[in-house]
C-alpha cells in the first residue's frame, strides 16, 4: 500500500509539473527545444574533437575563444573576447617515447604542459631512480649521478589495480595486506623526496641544474589507464609523464640494474607572452537591463585529454542554454550573460578578473549558475551562505520537470565556497552565485585532469537534462519580480579549526602567469 501511495504521489508531482509547463508556454517550448532540436553533440564535436584541449597560453585556447564568440554571433547573440592578462605561450608538438634498452617497446606517455622541447632528433639516455639519501647534504653530494640521465621522481605504485577492483575480487586478508603495502610504499617515497631538501615542484629544477637529461613522472589517478596530467617545472630539459604500467616497467628495470635507456622526442614551441581572455556573450534585458543573470563555465582545460568533462560539458551547457533562450525568450526582463572564463585551472583567473573589472555588473547580479564538475546530471545545489537563498531558488525550481528536480538535493542556506571553481569568485564579492553540482560518473578518478577526459566520456542525456534545468532557472530568475536578497547567514564554527568561519575575501587574478 505504501508503494502505491508513493507512485500516486510521484504522479501527482509529475502532473503538477506538466501543468505548470503547460501554463507557461515558454517553459514548455524550452523543454521541447532541448529534447527535440539539441545542438549539444555538434557543439561538443567542434569544441572537444576539432579544437581539442584548451591549455591557457596555447593556440588552441585562443581558437576556442574565437569559436565560441563566432558561434554566438551566428545565433544573433552579442559576444566578444575580453583580454584580462597575459600568460606564457606554449604549443604542444609530437611526443614519442621508446624504451630502446634492454629491449624495444613504445611507451605510453606525454610531455607535460610548458615543458621544453627535445627538438626533432630527441634525447636518448639511461633512466635512473631519484638518488636515495640520508639527508639534503648527502643528496647534494649524490647529484653528480644524475648527469646525462633521465631521473624518475614519482612513486612506483604498489598495484595498478584501482581500490574498487581489489575490494570486489580480493580476499579480505589480501586486500588488507595490499592496503598496508600501499601506505608503506607511499610513505617511503615521500620520505625519499623530503630528504632531498626540495619540494616536489622544486626538485626538477635541482636535477636540471645538476645536468639531468630529463625528468620522468607518473601521476596515477587510481583508475585503469588514467593519469593526472599537469605542468612541468623545468626550463631547459623535458619532463614526461608515463602511464603507470610503463613507469613501473622502467622503475623495475632501473632498480634491478638493467640500465634501461629511453629515446624521447617531445617537440614543443615556446611562444613567449600571449594574451589571456574571457569570452562574454549577452542577451540584453528589456525591463531591467542593469540587472544580470550570469551563466558561468570555464573554457580552458589541462591538455592530457581534450577537456570533455572539465569543462567542455559545462561550456556546451551554457552555450546551448543561451541558444535556446535567444530563440524562445529573446527579450528577457533582465540581461543574461554567458561567461566563458579563461585560466580557471591556474586559480580562477578569468572569473576573478571579471569580478574585479566589472563591479557594476557584480553588484547587480540576480543570480549566477555555474557548472564545472563533469558530465553528470545536476545532483546538488548549495545556498552558498545566502540566508534567503531557499526562497528564490525554491521558486525557480518549481516548474522544472520532476524527473530532473526530483534527484536534486539542496542545502540551504549552505556554506560559501572559497575556491575550486568560478562561482566562488562571485560569492567572495557577495553576489548570489550557485554551483550546479553534477552526479559523479567516476569523475575524480577517471576524467578530472586526466588523459582520459575525452568526447566519449560525455553522457548527453545528462547534459541535456542540465540544459533544461539551467534554461528554466535562468528564465525564472529573469522573470522574478523580486530582486534576490544578498543577506548572509552567520557562519558556524569550523569543526576542523574550532574557530568561527568567515566569508571568503575577493582576490584579483594572476594577470601575468607562467613567465617567471
The residue segments making up the domain with residue 380 are 23-88+273-513
Quick one: 277 and 255 in the same domain? Answer: no
Q: Per-residue pLDDT tens, the chain, 516 aa: give them.
A: 333 333 333 343 444 444 444 489 999 999 999 999 999 999 999 999 999 999 999 999 999 999 999 999 999 999 999 999 999 999 999 999 999 999 999 999 999 999 999 999 999 999 999 999 999 999 999 999 999 999 999 999 999 999 999 999 999 999 999 999 999 999 999 999 999 999 999 999 999 999 999 999 999 999 999 999 999 999 999 999 999 999 999 999 999 999 999 999 999 999 999 999 999 999 999 999 999 999 999 999 999 999 999 999 999 999 999 999 999 999 999 999 999 999 999 999 999 999 999 999 999 999 999 999 999 999 999 999 999 999 999 999 999 999 999 999 999 999 999 999 999 999 999 999 999 999 999 999 999 999 999 999 999 999 999 999 999 999 999 999 999 999 999 999 998 899 999 999 999 999 999 887
Quick one: 297 and 434 in the same domain? Answer: yes
The answer as to whether 4 is a domain residue is no
Quick one: 467 and 394 in the same domain? Answer: yes
CATH number, domain at 198?
A: 3.50.30.30
Residue 426 grid cell: 562571485
Quick one: 78 and 176 in the same domain? Answer: no
Predicted local confidence at residue 379, as pLDDT: 98
Predicted local confidence at residue 38, as pLDDT: 98
pTM reported for the whole predicted model = 0.94
The answer as to whether 139 is a domain residue is yes
**Is residue 109 within 8 Å of 245, Cβ to Cβ?**
no
Distance of alpha carbon 391 from alpha carbon 369, whole angstroms: 16
Neighbour tally for 196: CB within 10 Å: 24
Quick one: 72 and 150 in the same domain? Answer: no
The answer as to whether 12 is a domain residue is no
Q: Where is the domain boundary, 259, 282, 312?
A: 259
Q: How many domains does the chain have?
A: 2
Quick one: 222 and 308 in the same domain? Answer: no
Q: Which residues of 331-354 are buried (b: 16+ CB within 10 A; e: fewer)?
A: ebbbbbbbbbbbbbbbebbbbbbb
Quick one: 195 and 300 in the same domain? Answer: no
Q: Where is the domain boundary, 232, 259, 286?
A: 259
The answer as to whether 10 is a domain residue is no
C-alpha triplet 288, 292, 295: angle, nearest 5°? 145
Beta carbons within 8 Å of 287's beta carbon, 6+ residues apart: 333, 334
Quick one: 506 and 374 in the same domain? Answer: yes
The answer as to whether 442 is a domain residue is yes
The answer as to whether 231 is a domain residue is yes
Q: How far is CA 501 from CA 348, 382, 417, 497, in A?
A: 22, 17, 12, 9
Quick one: 108 and 84 in the same domain? Answer: no
The answer as to whether 18 is a domain residue is no
Predicted local confidence at residue 20, as pLDDT: 47
Quick one: 295 and 196 in the same domain? Answer: no
CATH number, domain at 439?
A: 3.40.630.10
Residue 147 grid cell: 648527469
Distance of alpha carbon 361 from alpha carbon 294, whole angstroms: 10
The answer as to whether 267 is a domain residue is no
Quick one: 254 and 278 in the same domain? Answer: no
Predicted local confidence at residue 23, as pLDDT: 82
Q: How far is CA 30 from CA 371, 379, 386, 474, in A?
A: 19, 21, 29, 11
Quick one: 82 and 123 in the same domain? Answer: no
Amino acid at each position: 500500500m505504501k508503494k502505491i501511495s508513493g507512485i500516486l504521489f510521484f504522479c501527482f508531482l509529475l502532473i503538477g509539473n506538466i501543468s505548470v509547463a503547460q501554463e507557461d508556454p515558454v517553459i514548455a517550448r524550452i523543454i521541447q527545444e532541448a529534447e527535440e532540436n539539441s545542438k549539444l553533440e555538434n557543439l561538443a564535436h567542434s569544441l572537444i574533437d576539432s579544437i581539442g584541449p584548451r591549455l591557457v597560453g596555447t593556440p588552441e585556447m585562443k581558437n576556442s575563444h574565437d569559436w565560441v564568440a563566432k558561434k554566438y554571433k551566428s545565433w544573433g547573440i552579442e559576444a566578444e573576447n575580453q583580454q584580462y592578462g597575459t600568460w606564457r605561450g606554449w604549443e604542444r608538438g609530437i611526443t614519442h617515447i621508446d624504451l630502446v634498452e634492454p629491449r624495444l617497446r613504445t611507451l605510453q606517455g606525454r610531455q607535460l604542459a610548458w615543458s621544453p622541447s627535445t627538438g626533432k632528433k630527441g634525447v636518448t639516455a639511461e633512466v635512473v631512480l631519484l638518488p636515495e639519501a640520508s639527508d639534503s647534504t648527502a643528496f647534494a653530494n649524490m647529484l653528480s649521478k644524475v648527469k646525462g640521465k633521465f631521473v624518475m621522481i614519482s612513486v612506483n605504485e604498489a598495484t595498478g589495480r584501482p581500490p574498487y577492483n581489489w575490494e570486489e575480487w580480493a580476499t579480505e586478508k589480501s586486500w588488507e595486506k595490499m592496503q598496508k603495502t600501499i601506505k608503506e610504499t607511499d610513505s617511503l617515497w615521500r620520505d625519499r623526496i623530503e630528504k632531498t631538501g626540495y619540494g616536489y615542484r622544486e626538485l626538477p629544477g635541482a636535477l636540471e641544474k645538476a645536468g639531468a637529461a630529463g625528468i620522468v613522472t607518473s601521476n596515477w589517478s587510481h583508475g585503469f589507464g588514467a593519469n593526472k596530467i599537469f605542468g612541468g617545472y623545468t626550463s631547459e630539459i623535458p619532463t614526461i609523464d608515463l602511464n603507470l604500467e610503463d613507469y613501473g616497467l622502467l622503475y623495475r628495470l632501473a632498480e634491478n640494474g638493467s640500465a634501461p635507456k629511453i629515446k624521447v622526442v617531445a617537440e614543443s614551441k615556446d611562444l613567449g607572452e600571449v594574451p589571456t581572455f574571457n569570452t562574454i556573450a549577452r542577451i540584453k534585458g528589456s525591463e531591467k537591463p542593469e540587472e544580470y543573470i550570469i551563466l558561468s563555465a570555464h573554457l580552458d582545460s589541462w591538455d592530457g585529454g581534450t577537456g570533455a568533462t572539465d569543462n567542455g560539458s559545462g561550456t556546451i551547457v551554457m552555450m546551448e542554454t543561451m541558444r535556446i533562450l535567444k530563440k524562445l525568450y529573446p527579450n528577457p526582463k533582465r540581461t543574461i550573460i554567458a561567461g566563458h572564463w579563461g585560466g580557471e585551472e591556474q586559480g580562477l583567473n578569468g572569473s576573478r578578473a571579471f569580478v574585479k573589472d566589472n563591479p557594476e555588473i557584480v553588484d547587480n547580479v540576480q543570480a549566477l549558475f555555474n557548472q564545472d564538475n563533469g558530465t553528470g546530471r545536476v545532483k546538488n545545489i548549495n545556498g552558498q551562505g545566502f540566508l534567503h537563498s531557499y526562497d528564490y531558488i525554491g521558486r525557480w525550481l518549481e516548474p522544472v520537470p520532476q524527473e530532473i528536480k526530483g534527484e536534486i538535493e539542496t542545502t540551504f542556506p549552505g556554506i560559501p565556497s572559497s575556491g575550486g571553481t568560478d562561482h566562488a569568485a562571485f560569492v567572495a564579492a557577495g553576489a548570489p552565485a550557485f554551483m550546479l553540482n553534477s552526479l559523479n560518473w567516476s569523475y575524480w578518478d577517471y576524467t578530472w585532469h586526466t588523459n582520459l577526459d575525452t568526447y566519449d566520456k560525455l553522457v548527453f542525456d545528462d547534459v541535456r537534462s542540465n540544459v533544461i534545468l539551467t534554461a528554466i532557472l535562468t528564465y525564472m530568475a529573469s522573470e522574478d519580480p523580486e530582486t534576490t536578497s544578498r543577506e548572509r547567514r552567520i557562519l558556524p564554527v569550523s569543526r576542523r579549526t574550532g574557530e568561527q568561519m568567515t566569508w571568503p575575501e575577493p582576490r584579483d587574478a594572476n594577470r601575468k602567469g607562467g613567465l617567471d
